[in-house]
Amino acid sequence: MEGPTYWKIGDQISLRDAFGRALTSLGSIRDDFVLFDADVAGGTGAKPFVQAFPEKVVQFGIAEQNMMAAAGGFADTGIIPVVTTFAAFGTMRAHEQFRTAIAYPGRNVKLCCSHIGVDVGPDGPTAQMLEDLATIRAVPGVTVVVPADANQMLQALPAILDHPGPVYMRIGRSPAPVITPADSSFNIGKASRLRGGNDVTLIATGVMVARALAAAENLASDGIEARVINLSTIKPLDKEELLQAAIETGALVTAEDHSVLGGMGSAVAEFLAETHPVPISFVGVRDRFGKSGEPEELARLFGLTAEDIQKAAKSVIVRKKA
């Protein structure tokens, strides 16, 4: 069986579309997983899989708490439930079911949620999820994966299926530029360094990775060499890569389409505070709810653009220890 077709660098592809492609291609070569859906297969991108493999889908209706706890029980029988819904409903509404029926017994469930960050756009605050990394990251023993582009998604899905235990994967909704080549590998727990530089490190996740790369380009024209790291696993952290960045560049910017409270930036800061403290600037949503608007407009309003990352980089460099 052939693998999925990758996209070209520079294509604009929604990660949920990539999720659908990844699911469908795996559906014909693996028999170890089923899809759990709560009436949102169109929204999460899983629809092509539902159409191709209706027998591999369990439909729960709009009842996420039931779906989540049922997934815990189902996993107990040796088949992997890939639980899909919007992040608000998967990581918050059914949070305790995830914690107690899945994470606590260490069950092999993959929670794959779309509708994250302000990238969701016009549906507004109830659908935008800015706290999922914070809530899920706090649960012991959970692996948290955030692919940055469509090509990474194609590799992330088989990787999380092969990774034992509970995994949360965050799936973007609006089109995002493809930045990783088809042949790059995806390893859970490993960050990838996309650009070298010793003046500052930009650590980004999800849609923010492409923006961090753009920011680094612009910084270079101002004579600042920024290292760019795609942190596609938020938990466990790639400690080696982070430590090296802190030691070698002495200043960091974290960038995420998530609240600055408890998200990826917090994870990085928690680790470095105990190992090698350096000044950090956090790019993310500042303790507020989202609102309706187009994704790019929201990125501007909430300070999530490449320019915001540039500004943060310049300000954090000033705070570097002499």
Ligand X SMILES: Cc1ncc(C[n+]2csc(CCOP(=O)(O)OP(=O)(O)O)c2C)c(N)n1
Residues tagged active-site? 64
Rounded distance between C-alpha atoms, residue 212 and residue 287, angstroms = 22
Q: By C-alpha distance, which of 266, 257, 195, 272 is closest to 228?
A: 195
**Strand 252-259 with 280-285, pairing:** parallel
Tell me how many helices (H) and strands (E) the chain has. Answer: 13, 14
Residues in region 54-113 near ligand X by CB under 6 A: 62, 64, 89, 93
The residue nearest ligand X at its CB is 39
**Concatenated DSSP letters of 223-241:** T--EEEEE--EEES--HHH
Residues in region 161-200 near ligand X by CB under 6 A: none
List the single partner that 146 binds among another protein, ligand X, none, CB under 5 to 8 Å by kind: none
List the single partner that 294 binds among another protein, ligand X, none, CB under 5 to 8 Å by kind: another protein
Give the CA dihedral 39, 45, 169, 83, nearest 10 degrees.
30
Closer Cβ to another protein, 39 or 76, answer by number: 39
To ligand X, the closest distance from the beta carbon of 282 in angstroms equals: 30
Identify the bridge partners of residue 320 per DSSP, sorted by sequence position. Answer: none
Closer Cβ to ligand X, 17 or 64, answer by number: 64
Closer Cβ to ligand X, 45 or 177, answer by number: 45
Q: 299 φ, ψ to 5°?
A: -60, -40
* Contact partners, residue 179, CB within 8 Å, separation at least 6: 9, 148, 149, 194, 209, 210, 213
Residues in region 246-305 near ligand X by CB under 6 A: none
Residue 142 CA, distance from chain mean position:
14
> Would you give the binding string for ligand X spanning residues 216-245, x where CB under 6 A is met?
------------------------------
- Looking at 39, 96, 270, 294, which residue binds ligand X (CB under 6 A)? 39
To another protein, the closest distance from the beta carbon of 42 in angstroms equals: 6
∠ CA 73-78-82, nearest 5°, is: 70
Q: Which run of H or of E encompasses 313?
A: helix 306-318
Please tell me what DSSP assigns to residue 141: T
Cβ atoms of 112 and 84 within 8 Å: the answer is yes
The reply on whether position 40 binds ligand X by CB under 6 A is yes
Please tell me what DSSP assigns to residue 62: S
Closer Cβ to ligand X, 62 or 79, answer by number: 62
To another protein, the closest distance from the beta carbon of 269 in angstroms equals: 30
Q: 278 φ, ψ to 5°?
A: -140, 160
To ligand X, the closest distance from the beta carbon of 120 in angstroms equals: 12
Closer Cβ to another protein, 106 or 125, answer by number: 125
Rounded distance between C-alpha atoms, residue 35 and residue 42, angstroms = 13
To ligand X, the closest distance from the beta carbon of 63 in angstroms equals: 8
Residues in binding contact with ligand X, number by CB under 6 A: 6
Closer Cβ to another protein, 118 or 272, answer by number: 118
List the single partner that 54 binds among another protein, ligand X, none, CB under 5 to 8 Å by kind: none
Residues that bind another protein (CB under 8 A): 39-43, 47, 59-66, 88-89, 93, 121-127, 291-294, 297-298, 301
* Residues contributing to the site for ligand X (CB under 6 A): 39-40, 62, 64, 89, 93
